[in-house]
A = this chain, B = another copy of it.
Amino acid sequence: MKPLENIIVLDLTRILSGPFCTMILADFGANVIKIELPDLGDESRLLGPYVNNESAYFMSLNRGKRSMTLNLKTEEGRALLKALIKKADVLIENYRPGTMDKWGLGYEEARNLNPKLIYASISGFGHSGPYMKLPAYDIVVQGMSGIMSITGQQDGPPTRVGTSIGDMVPGLFRNVGIMMALYHRTFSGEGQRLDVAMFDSLVAILENAIARYQVQKEVPKPIGNRHPAITPFDSFSTKDGYIIVAAGNPKLFEQLCELLGMPELIKDERFSEYANRHQHEKELKPLLEKGFSKFSQAEALAMLGNAGIPCAPINTIDRVMADPQIEAREMLVDIEHPVAGLLKLAGIPIKMSLTPGAVERPAPTLGQDTDQILKEFLGLTQDQIDDLRHRKVL
């Protein structure tokens, strides 16, 4: 049994943040109905890479959902959505603030139709404040939140995180909020509104940067991969890839120097003590990298691991996908798509003993379930559905 099997989700979201959030709900059994505009659907269906003309980007974010088309720009389309709202537990949308209201589909209207509904909005800056109506991309909120200003090489430019955390982190916060609202509803019987912003969500994960700035009065900057207080605790290049070494205490440092064939570093007055070493980090790093240049990543890791020095590879994506731990944890799952064939997707990181999630069906083609959903939820006949389609409502 999955924990969300009794939950019906109307998913009006597109691209990344909303679909990532509803994918997790679908993995755990929610009946997710993806509502897409006719003809094009979710814009991410156009994003590459493609397999047999199907977007692998879309496929990796929309597994386990059903798709129906609905033209919300028509009065009849909106009326059908209102009829579905009466049957739903959760509605999720990521239109620009104001759009749903303009369509007569805002929270007040939805609540009048269904007071138990949980109505969750995601947007760049939230449904209040001076930036409310501004558009946002992942890079915009990564930049504005301060995350880019503390990511990057020492003395280098601010750097975008290579995965879209500006979309995915708010997707996770929203899931927490949806689940808290569902939990509360089991006691109170009441639905409510959620408003999660991409900008707010990244500020919420700035971690100690906010405290550091207040206490030290220094604006935090990128410091590369090294630890702010311990040396050597950083990444180092080897013959064929990078590794991470965390040799914080004197004994580990001595062992490291011996293994690299550089015992002279132990006596070097720049590196002989804990504080010295950290102070001369910029001089020490190239020396250690010269030592590591004689080894491959695998050789260096084996040597350090055997000596008990904490270390790890910096894996490229191909190596991550071949990692035995990833296999043991089922963190890659095979999905057979009717058009695209076999594709490996990231698995489910929330491992539950009693109600585990499962990846059971591929992402839907555009509108593949429209007829089924309209019959199942609204009792429409095939003739009525054909007529709606003919008039471009579906």
> Which residues from chain A sit less than 8 Å from chain B, CB to CB?
3-4, 16, 24, 28, 47-51, 56-57, 59-60, 107, 125-126, 128-131, 135, 137, 139-140, 143-153, 156-165, 168-170, 172-177, 179-184, 186-188, 190-197, 199-201, 203-216, 219-225, 227, 229, 233, 235, 237, 242-244, 246, 310, 312-321, 323-326, 328-329, 331-332, 343-355
| Interface class of chain A by DSSP | mixed
A275–chain B nearest beta-carbon distance, Å: 15
A10–chain B nearest beta-carbon distance, Å: 18
CB neighbours of A24 from chain B (8 A): 176
* Interface pair A157/B235, CB less than 8 Å apart: yes
* Interface pair A208/B60, CB less than 8 Å apart: yes
A105–chain B nearest beta-carbon distance, Å: 17
Task: Using known A-B contacts A130-B325, A186-B186, determine if residue A146 contacts B197 with beta carbons closer than 8 Å.
Answer: no
CB neighbours of A165 from chain B (8 A): 161, 165, 169, 205
> Nearest B residue to A172 by beta-carbon distance?
B172
* Interface pair A56/B208, CB less than 8 Å apart: yes
* Interface pair B317/A225, CB less than 8 Å apart: no
Of the candidates B163, B175, B210, B213, the one whose C-beta lies within 8 Å of that of A345 is: B210
Cα–Cα, bound, A241→B82 (Å): 48
Task: Using known A-B contacts A150-B163, A163-B209, A329-B126, determine if residue A314 contacts B355 with beta carbons closer than 8 Å.
Answer: no
* Interface pair A353/B192, CB less than 8 Å apart: yes
Cα–Cα, bound, A151→B286 (Å): 22
Can you list 28 residue pairs at the A/B interface with Cβ under 8 Å? Answer: A49-B216, A50-B215, A51-B215, A56-B208, A57-B208, A57-B211, A60-B208, A129-B324, A137-B310, A139-B235, A139-B246, A140-B244, A144-B314, A149-B162, A150-B163, A152-B159, A161-B165, A163-B207, A173-B349, A177-B351, A179-B183, A180-B355, A192-B353, A193-B353, A194-B353, A197-B329, A210-B344, A210-B345
> Nearest B residue to A143 by beta-carbon distance?
B314
Cα–Cα, bound, A193→B353 (Å): 5
Cα–Cα, bound, A105→B56 (Å): 44
Of the candidates B137, B152, B208, B212, the one whose C-beta lies within 8 Å of that of A153 is: B152
* Interface pair B320/A159, CB less than 8 Å apart: no
> Nearest B residue to A356 by beta-carbon distance?
B192
A258–chain B nearest beta-carbon distance, Å: 22
CB neighbours of A204 from chain B (8 A): 331, 346-349
CB neighbours of A184 from chain B (8 A): 3, 354-355
* Interface pair A207/B16, CB less than 8 Å apart: yes
* Interface pair A193/B352, CB less than 8 Å apart: yes
Closest CB pairs A-B (n = 9): A129-B328, A179-B179, A150-B162, A192-B354, A151-B162, A56-B211, A49-B215, A200-B349, A172-B172
* Interface pair A180/B180, CB less than 8 Å apart: no
Task: Using known A-B contacts A3-B183, A160-B235, A204-B348, determine if residue A321 contacts B225 with beta carbons closer than 8 Å.
Answer: no
CB neighbours of A233 from chain B (8 A): 139
CB neighbours of A331 from chain B (8 A): 199-200, 203-204
Cα–Cα, bound, A173→B246 (Å): 27
Cα–Cα, bound, A355→B180 (Å): 9
CB neighbours of A169 from chain B (8 A): 165, 168-169, 172
Of the candidates B143, B157, B174, B321, the one whose C-beta lies within 8 Å of that of A213 is: B321
CB neighbours of A345 from chain B (8 A): 210-211
A124–chain B nearest beta-carbon distance, Å: 10
